[in-house]
Each structure stands twice: as C-alpha cells, then as structure tokens.
Structure 1
C-alpha cells in the first residue's frame, strides 16, 4: 500500500501540473515524430523499475508532445474538455477496475448504465425504453446502430444474418447524404454493406440532405432500405431536416432510419436549438458522443436503438461459461470486456443537470457566433457557413489555408484544423469546451488574423 500511495500521489501531481497549466500552455506547438519518439527509451527492460520512478519518467517523456486539447482554445476538432467531476469519476473507474460486460461482474455498474441510459434518452427527447449501449465513440455507436438495422431488416425478409451472414442475403439498399461523415462509411465497410455501394442523396449549400430528392430516390428502390441521416454536419454544424426525412422513410414498408448525431444531437438538450433536430425521435437508432459536447474524458459515447431486441440480437453471445444477453451492458455493444465508461457520463449529467447541459450547449453556440463575427470582420476572411451550432467554417483570401493553419499552430495561442468546402480549402473552428470564454475567443481570432496579416504582408 505504501507503493500504491506513492504512485497515486505522483499521478495526482501530474494531474495538478497538467490541468493547472492547460489553459495557458501553447495549445499544439508542432513536435516532430522523431523528436517525440526520442524521449522514450525504446529498449524493453530486463529488470523492472520502482512504480513511482516509472511515472516520473513518463511525466518527463510525454512533454512537450502533449496537445492541450482539454484546454479552452483547442478548436481543431469537435473535442470537448473534461469537466472536473468527470475527471474524478474517471479516476474512480480506473481504481475500481470493473468489467462492465455482464451484470454479475458488476451489479452496480449495470444498474448505473440503466439509469444513465434513461437520462440520456430523456434529455435528448428520444423514445423511453430505447436500448442504450455505452461505446468508445460515434464510430462504434454507428456500427452498433447499423448492426441492429442489418439484423432487423434482414429478419423481416426471413433471413438470419447472424447465422447465415450476408452471402446470398436480400441486402438492404443503404442511402446516405452526400455530406455523410467518414465514420458512417467506415461502419458500412465493417458491416459488409460496402461504402461505395451506398446511394448518396444530394445536399444543399450547408450540407443538409435534400428530403424531396430522398423521397424521389426511395420511390425508385425495391426492397428494404437503410437511411442514414445526420444531426450536425462536421464542417458547418447543419442538421438534416429530420422530420421531412422521417416522412420519406415512413412511406416504406421495410425501412430503418439511423441518425448520426455525434455532436449535433446535443442540440436537443438546448431549448433554443432544439428545432434544428426536430423529428429526431422518429428514427430507429442514434449515435451520439459524450466526449464531445458533454465534456467527459475519452472515451465515451452512446449507441441508442428504439427496439432493444434488435440491438440485443446483433450483440448477444453465449458460451458454456458465460451468457451476455439483452439485460447485460455488453449485450448492447460491439465489445465484451470493457471499462465502466458510463460512470463519468453519469457524473457529468448529475453535476450539470438538464439546465446545465442546455447552458453548456447554448454557450458554445454563442461563442461560435462571436468567433464568426470577429473573423468575418477581417477583410481577407470569408465565413462559409450559417453558424447554427458550434462550427465556424472560414477561408482566407490571398493565403493558403493549410499554411495559415500551420502558422496558427506555431503561434500556440489556439489550434484550428483544415477542411475543404465545395472544393475551396478552408479552416474549421469548433467550440465544444466547457471552459472556453469570450476572452478565449477574442484572443484566438486575434491570433488567427495576425497570422493571416503576416502571411499576406499586411
């Protein structure tokens, strides 16, 4: 126990040092891969070292290659920070070291998942009684939702995909929006649907699926269909018109509607933004992250399916020594052994409450609007999207977008990523962190415009 005390004390000192400085340290000063690798002794040791000494070495070697993505001016991806209560809860998860696979292995965690899943559905306005699986991220949440869809749609055609696979099966036609996220395509590959086989529906100038074209397309398709809609396009934040999409899908006798709501589905928690995802409750499955807008540590997300039996059919398993069924946490996820990742999600929801989550979402949206206004005031910056959520897409005139991104990263004040919109290179600023303030936004937009002025010789 003395050794354990020393280890935990050392870990606490690292956390204090890191979190105490994360708001002011350079956000992401580039470090060459070779330089980062050189800080670690790559020789496998023959003899062990004292535990606290190992943590000392780690703390030293990890710098300066850590990115302050948990800080208030990291805007490159839709990345939340970590609420203090969620950090504390995550430490408890590691200390208790529970395997959340089956109820008998951790009755407390299984009960907590039941409660937390119901909270998530209530907060997001999704059907009560839906099955909720706690997964690593929106990638696996999408895999889970589409796996449930695959089982249900094929079962309705008299085909057991779990037993017979896809060879010779009446495979559903998959329909996605033209601006669908890459994780949807990855899920289609993993599940055997094929990314290139998906039929794409054209999108409007903000990346929203056009429902009138979806309706026409569905009328031309025979057999079952799987439609993947989107709440929160990754560049613009735009949401597909889910009510109209659900109307079109509802006209089919055999159809499944999945919503990729990795970050945008949280708009349902904010009364002033809820209209953006109207109709969300009419879908059959949903994917939503917690380590984005809910600001819990990596990793944490939810796969939500209206029909619990469909999700259980996709993931339940049995062996002589164990059965993982619909009532077990991992009967709702692609994993068996896994950590109790619902605990920090529960802690964050308990700490914030309904009003706190709404305030967090609304505050980030307001800050994104501030960033768009400040960037758009520069004569050489074009804001390319309607800022409806937390995404600001902008492009410089007279300078290369990638070069501007590198200059901003080298400055260290903030970090913004690159993208492209209708063929035009662009940059994307995503506001998702609980600790970001109006001052952080102004400080960051000033750094961006200053870097642009230097590149253009102004």
Structure 2
C-alpha cells in the first residue's frame, strides 16, 4: 500500500511538472505565434480523437498529447493582439493563482470545506466593492460569468418585487402570479434576456426602452415604472461602450418602487479609473450589479460577480439546507450563487487585485481606452467610417460593402497577426475591436493596424 501511495504521488508530480513546462513554453511564445490557429493546426486536433480505450494512457503522455495537438489550435487570447468578444488576458499573479487553486482543488461550499479559499474570497469581495464604488454591505457572489451573475441578481429582484405583492415565490412558485413589469433597453445584452427567460419571464413581459444613436436609453421617453417593475440598465454597451444615464433614471425608479439592475460585464470597471469614473455616475444607486472578472480585471476564465445591495434578497432565493452540512455563522457561498459545488473563483480575483493595486487597475483601464482611441484614429486614417464615440475600450467601424468588410476581417484573421470579429451596429455591418488585455502594448497596436491596412488595401484594391 505504501509503495502504491508513493507511486501515485510520483505520477502526480511528474504530470504537474510536465504541464508546468508546457505552460511556460506556451506563454513564452504567445507573442511570436499566430493569434488564431491555422487550418493545419485545426486539422491536427484529429490526433486527439482516438477510440475509447480499455486501458488508460500514462499521465505524462496525456499532457504531452494535449500540448502537441491542442496548444497550437488555441486562440492566443493571453497575448496582446486579441481584440474579440471583450476578452481580457490573464495577469501573471492571477494565472499563477489559478494553477495553485487547481492544485488545492477546494470545494468552495462552506468555510469549513475550504477555509483559506473562502477567506480570500471575502477579502476579494470587499476589495471589489471598494474598486467599483458600490455599497460596502452588498453581497458578492462569484459565478461562472456575468450571464449567471445577471441571473442571480434578477432572481433576487423577481422574488423581492413579488414579495411586495404578498407573493412568496419560494413557497408558491410562479403559478398564478401576475406578471411583473420588466423594462429593458433596446440594446440590452443577450445574456440579460437569457437570464430573464430562465427565470420564467417571457418576451411578452418585456417593455423596451428606446435608445439614442450610441445605445444609451433615452430619458425623454423612458417607460412608466411602478412597484412591480424591474429595470435593467447597462454599463458599457457591448458595441459602442456607452453607459445609460443612471443618475437621472435610478432616482425616479426608486421613487416608483422599482428594482434597478445594472449589467456591467466590462463597463462597470470604468468606476475604478479616476479618468473614466464619470461614465458610471449614479451607478451606486442601483439595487444590483453584474460584472466579469475575466474581462477587464484580467482573471482567467471563468469568473463573474453577482453583487446585490440587499444580501438577504439573494440569500432567500439561493439558500439550501441539508443535514450533512455543518454551517457556521454568516451566509455560506453555496447560499449566494446557484452552484452548490463550485471552485473558488475569488482566489484569482484576490491575486489580480493584490498584484495591481488600485493604481494598477486604474492604469489598466485607462491604457486600454487610450489604445482604443489609437485604433480608432488609425482606422479613420485608412478611410473607415467610425460608428461610435470611443469613450471606453470599444471601436466599431465600417468600410466598403458588407461583403468587402467580411472579406477584410477574414483576411486579418487568416493572417494571424491579430484577431477581432464583426458586428451589426445602427443597421451597418462593421468590425468591432475590444481592447481589454493587460498584455497589449504599443507594438501590438502598430502591428494590428498594419495588418488591417494590408487587408483593406487588398480587398478594396487600393493603391
């Protein structure tokens, strides 16, 4: 038995050592490799599609095969020239913490099951509230992303508003309950609609607030609110980067008895920047907020954060009881998010904030915004039409016909220097650049603009 234990220990260490070696190789070469995989890299994935084996393969061989065939077929989002989908990189400390967190393999259900991890999550929660300027007694739940964070907050909002109508959804469910009034922006992100649908709120219940040309809800024709209303606003439009007028809408919502939720997946981080905080004026007046760690805080995937001013409202919806769980004081993590068994995502949040500090987080936000402006100016110089006011880290621009624009973007992606995608904004097909990574530097911007310029000239047959 003792020999077997030693053998298992040795095998684990060998596999971990091999993985660390390959991870270092991957990271050290990420700037020199293609941002998107080549067709041959994708074809090589077939080498991993073996028949289901009766006897397993040596752990080191498994890791070697992963690195040989899967690493080249990844998208280099940890480098500095990935500008798609509002994806951050992963800071050194956050990446290292993720590795250590995997080795710990803590079940972050209760403090008793993961004492150090839960301790770190509580510190991270406090730091997040300070960075974002939100009420210090708010609940903070770590989720897979802002999709789930939106659902947590909107679940709390739904039950809270029904409770004011003397309906206890925990006991009765939605059967027979009158519909709530749900106000969403015309530009609400799809994850808000997905969360509402999962919560039993159909599209027929949604009242859409009209927006201006930058995707901000208009105050002059904002829908009527009452005590059965949930209002969903946005911090950082996924295309334009703009913000809804919180300081003008939220006081009226509070007076009417409405609950205000803010989807701030990436835009809420503007609060951490002295230069950009003006965009989030009044955001602290809301009732709940959703934000991602894996976007602008640059933690590894996956990490979202559900924040709610009324912690009890979340607890009443998410709490679970089981005789085998010996709970201590306070509200355990399992009772503040949907997941029962969960990894301690807050560990990487703690590491990223500890590594950067408040000044570093602010500098990250401001540097990305500066690079976005440089990209926008470069596109204008090439003859592109800029479709948004670049107030944050988003750039939306178009040129030529729809087909030509798609060909330009495809040529850039195939070139491998940088990666971004397309969108449709204000009725026009456009390219969309999202600058969110700590790893992006001056050279990355220069190389990316050169790649776009070459592709644009080739497709449009420009001199």
Q: TM-score range by the shorter chain?
A: over 0.9
**1:209-220 correspondence to structure 2 within 5 Å:** 209-214=217-222, 217-218=223-224
2:295 aligns with: 292
What is the number of equivalent residue pairs in this alignment? 452
1:138 aligns with: 146
Contact 1:22 1:68 survives alignment (8 Å): yes
2:189 aligns with: 181
Contact 2:180 2:205 survives alignment (8 Å): no
TM superposition shift of 1:111: 2.0
Shift of the 103–171 alpha-carbon distance from structure 1 to 2, 3 Å rule, reads: farther
Q: Provide the secondary structure at the position in 2 that maps to 1:239.
A: coil
2:308 aligns with: 305
Gaps of at least 5 residues in structure 2 are 1-8
2:17 aligns with: 9
Alignment counterpart, residue 110 of structure 1, candidates 103, 118, 127 = 118
1:339 aligns with: 343
TM superposition shift of 1:196: 4.4
Q: Provide the secondary structure at the position in 1 that maps to 2:112.
A: helix
**1:61-80 correspondence to structure 2 within 5 Å:** 61-80=69-88
TM superposition shift of 1:29: 3.5
Q: Provide the secondary structure at the position in 2 that maps to 1:39.
A: helix
Contact 2:372 2:394 survives alignment (8 Å): yes
TM superposition shift of 1:201: 0.4
TM superposition shift of 1:160: 1.0
**1:55-454 correspondence to structure 2 within 5 Å:** 55-214=63-222, 217-218=223-224, 223-253=227-257, 255-322=258-325, 327-379=331-383, 381-398=384-401, 400-454=404-458
Q: Provide the secondary structure at the position in 1 that maps to 2:48.
A: coil
Gaps of at least 5 residues in structure 1 are none
TM superposition shift of 1:32: 8.2
Contact 2:231 2:259 survives alignment (8 Å): yes
Partners of 1:85 and 1:33 in 2: how far apart? Answer: 29
TM superposition shift of 1:397: 2.0
TM superposition shift of 1:63: 4.0
Contact 2:272 2:361 survives alignment (8 Å): yes
Contact 1:309 1:326 survives alignment (8 Å): no
TM superposition shift of 1:248: 2.5
Contact 1:29 1:409 survives alignment (8 Å): no
Contact 2:251 2:285 survives alignment (8 Å): no
TM superposition shift of 1:91: 0.7
After superposing the two structures, state which structure 1 stretch, 107-116 or 340-349, moved more.
107-116
Shift of the 93–178 alpha-carbon distance from structure 1 to 2, 3 Å rule, reads: same
TM superposition shift of 1:36: 5.5
String of CA shifts for 1:365-411, please: whole Å, max 9, x gaps: 001001101111112x1111000000000111256222221111011
TM superposition shift of 1:107: 2.1
The TM-score, its normalising length taken from structure 2, stands at: 0.95
The TM-score, its normalising length taken from structure 1, stands at: 0.96
TM superposition shift of 1:251: 2.4
String of CA shifts for 1:172-191, please: whole Å, max 9, x gaps: 21100000100001001111
Partners of 2:361 and 2:375 in 1: how far apart? Answer: 21
Contact 2:45 2:70 survives alignment (8 Å): no
TM superposition shift of 1:38: 1.5
Partners of 1:34 and 1:370 in 2: how far apart? Answer: 33
